[in-house]
Structure 1
Amino acid sequence: MSLSPRVICSTITLRYLPLGAALREIAQRGFAGIDLGALPGVCDHVPYDLTPYAVAEVASTILDSGLSVVSVNGDVGDLNVPMDAAGAAARARHADLLLELATRVGARALVLPNGRLDHAPVRDLESDLDLVAAELSRVDERARDRGLELWVEAPHWFRLAYDLDRSGALLERLPASIGVVCDVSHITAGGSTPRHFLDRFADRTRHVHIRDAAVGDIHRSVGRGDVDFDDLALSLAQHGYDGALSLELETRDVSDDERADAALTAGQFVSARLEVAASTAGGVR
């Protein structure tokens, strides 16, 4: 089975390799596009302490690879933690550098999380969601000034908006210009399904992250968890989603030296289901 051009590979999948080597492995497996991981403590392909020089260096490495970039998956700190003026200025500088990087590599969007790594609010849920929405809205304004989009990853099993209800409460607070990422592993870990997510949020969905999961566990390889990928593909087709699906295989059941080949196998698996779903849904692609 060949790879669908819609199926791309996040560099988080090969986070154990330096960026240049990860890009080569991805290209050699036949992927044409990537998401760029810029998550401190998860993937150091983009330095967290960003400088203009680091932005230029990372951008050059990516442009030399020939791979297209859909999004930069970044983090600018705990959005539900109140900050002083100095902290706010530092966050704005970091966001601007991530947006500059996204611009240089031709990405469509910057992706940010929805709060700190804790389900518990810092103050109370309503106040925390208000603060996250305000912080995301500020970054969204800067993104739109550059012709970029901002997408939020919600739900995210480890963060404030960890389930569909909290994600819905956050999205209600956000301007329509901010899209949402359908991460099937975080949705499943939170006890729901991608179909339920899409039934509620398809009109806001701009991107899809692929990894398998079980309730409370996001670290499964595709086919080794509870995600119904046939129904995922069918639901995406029925809702008219024709964008990219990014393999973000931050798994713990595959060794590092198997990851590139496992990504190809997963990509072919997902591609086959997209093809069947397009036919079943009456040709929606």
Structure 2
Amino acid sequence: MALDERNISVMNFHYVRHTMDRFLADVCEAGVSRIELWAAAPHFYIGDKTLADARALGRKVRGMGLDIVALTPEQCIYPINISAKEAELRDRSVRYFLESMEFATECGAPALLVTAGGGYRDEPAEQALERCVDSMGLLCDRAQKLGIDLWMESLPDSFANIIRSAREIRNLMDTLNSPALYAVYDVAGAVMTHETPQDYFTHLAGRVAHVHFTDSDAGGSHLAWGDGIIDLDELTAYLRSQNYEGSLTIELTNWKYNVDPTPPLKQCIEAMRKALGPA
């Protein structure tokens, strides 16, 4: 299926100061049929929920005509780090993602987004990478058994000292050799790591399953379309040239959008519909 407005997806991150019901209502009113569920408080933090809650949420969302394209558990703020040196922190993090997979399955999400974390800056990065490989091996094995995919997103140097680029995701994939592991191309994140879409679709040919699709400033802030420097039409044309057919998630992480989240959502959807064209 060629890219069109049906590929638009929305994440609830910038609705963090509003209810999940407000988010879902706005998505439906905008005529979008896909969401990426940011699993965090106050909306849906798995530590506060049960698998029955996940099933109920899945039924509710589907009843509104929406599909959950992925479950994205919060993993950059809480003490979650699958590559941590401390065994107790690493083990808790692995358990967190294993449990998140169960929640993804129950709510009907076909994929779980993961990041690699990292190690101390005053120890060799190779040590953290070894721990990452061990942890991801466990997660990939479980994902295969459950029949869901893992979507790996790289993080910039300020967040991690491993898996910071498309090339490093590729190396991890080659090491693990798991059919469950795919990559995420984050448009604004790539600005932070000084990468281009070509870097992702060259190093990760055939393995880019998802795109976090926002505008960006020069520092990599995730902005509403029209608020930054990314050429939307040029990017859309490139994705089409690569036969990309996955979702394009609006992930607005700049806190300025949190007070009144509806206008930037509408701004993004209007711009994306213009660039993508109708179904």
Q: Please give the TM-score of this superposition, normalised by the length of structure 2.
A: 0.83
Residue 273 (str. 1) matches residue 271 (str. 2):
no
Letter aligned with residue 159 of structure 2: R
- From 201, 206, 211, the counterpart of 1:208: 211
187-196 or 98-107, larger mean C-alpha shift: 187-196
CA shift, 1:242, in A, is: 0.7
In 2: Cα distance, 1:230 partner to 1:245 partner: 14
Residue 148 (str. 1) matches residue 109 (str. 2):
no
Which string of whole-angstrom CA distances, capped at 9 and with x for unpartnered residues, describes residues 38-59 of structure 1? Answer: 25xxx542225255x2x32244
Letter aligned with residue 254 of structure 2: T
In 1: Cα distance, 2:15 partner to 2:157 partner: 21
Which string of whole-angstrom CA distances, capped at 9 and with x for unpartnered residues, describes residues 136-181 of structure 1? Answer: 2211111111111111112456432334444444344332421010
Any residues of structure 2 matched to 1:107-118 within 5 Å, and which?
Answer: 107-116=109-118
Which string of whole-angstrom CA distances, capped at 9 and with x for unpartnered residues, describes residues 4-53 of structure 1? Answer: 111011111322222233222222221111000025xxx542225255x2
CA shift, 1:87, in A, is: 4.8
Q: Is the 8 A contact 2:83 2:90 kept in 1?
A: no
Gaps of 5+ in 2: none
Any residues of structure 2 matched to 1:50-65 within 5 Å, and which?
Answer: 50=48, 53=50, 55-65=51-61
In 1: Cα distance, 2:121 partner to 2:178 partner: 24
Classify the secondary structure of the residue corresponding to 1:217: coil
Q: Decide whether aligned partners of structure 1 residues 223 and 199 sit closer, same or farther in structure 2, where only a CA change above 3 A counts.
A: farther
Q: Is the 8 A contact 1:75 1:113 kept in 2?
A: no
Aligned counterpart, 1:280: none
- From 46, 49, 64, the counterpart of 2:47: 49
In 2: Cα distance, 1:234 partner to 1:261 partner: 26
In 2: Cα distance, 1:50 partner to 1:192 partner: 37
Classify the secondary structure of the residue corresponding to 2:17: coil
Which string of whole-angstrom CA distances, capped at 9 and with x for unpartnered residues, describes residues 231-260 of structure 1? Answer: 221221111111111111122444522x22
Q: Decide whether aligned partners of structure 1 residues 171 and 11 sit closer, same or farther in structure 2, where only a CA change above 3 A counts.
A: same
Q: Is the 8 A contact 1:35 1:71 kept in 2?
A: yes
Aligned length: 266
Q: Decide whether aligned partners of structure 1 residues 20 and 58 sit closer, same or farther in structure 2, where only a CA change above 3 A counts.
A: farther
Aligned counterpart, 1:281: none
Classify the secondary structure of the residue corresponding to 1:16: coil
69-78 or 100-109, larger mean C-alpha shift: 69-78
Residue 239 (str. 1) matches residue 238 (str. 2):
no
Aligned counterpart, 2:16: 15
In 2: Cα distance, 1:13 partner to 1:204 partner: 28
Q: Decide whether aligned partners of structure 1 residues 122 and 151 sit closer, same or farther in structure 2, where only a CA change above 3 A counts.
A: farther
Aligned counterpart, 1:133: 133
Off by >6 Å, runs of 4+ in structure 1: none
Letter aligned with residue 57 of structure 1: D
In 1: Cα distance, 2:232 partner to 2:175 partner: 30
Aligned counterpart, 2:202: 199
228-237 or 179-188, larger mean C-alpha shift: 228-237
In 2: Cα distance, 1:204 partner to 1:220 partner: 26
Letter aligned with residue 170 of structure 1: L
Classify the secondary structure of the residue corresponding to 1:5: helix
Aligned counterpart, 2:100: 98
206-215 or 154-163, larger mean C-alpha shift: 154-163
Gaps of 5+ in 1: 277-284
Any residues of structure 2 matched to 1:252-267 within 5 Å, and which?
Answer: 252-254=255-257, 256-257=259-260, 259-267=261-269
Root-mean-square deviation (CA, aligned residues, Å) is: 2.7
Structure with the larger RCO, 1 or 2 (CA within 8 Å, 6+ apart): 2
Letter aligned with residue 217 of structure 1: G
Letter aligned with residue 271 of structure 1: R
Classify the secondary structure of the residue corresponding to 2:85: coil
Share of identical aligned residues, percent?
20
In 2: Cα distance, 1:30 partner to 1:173 partner: 41
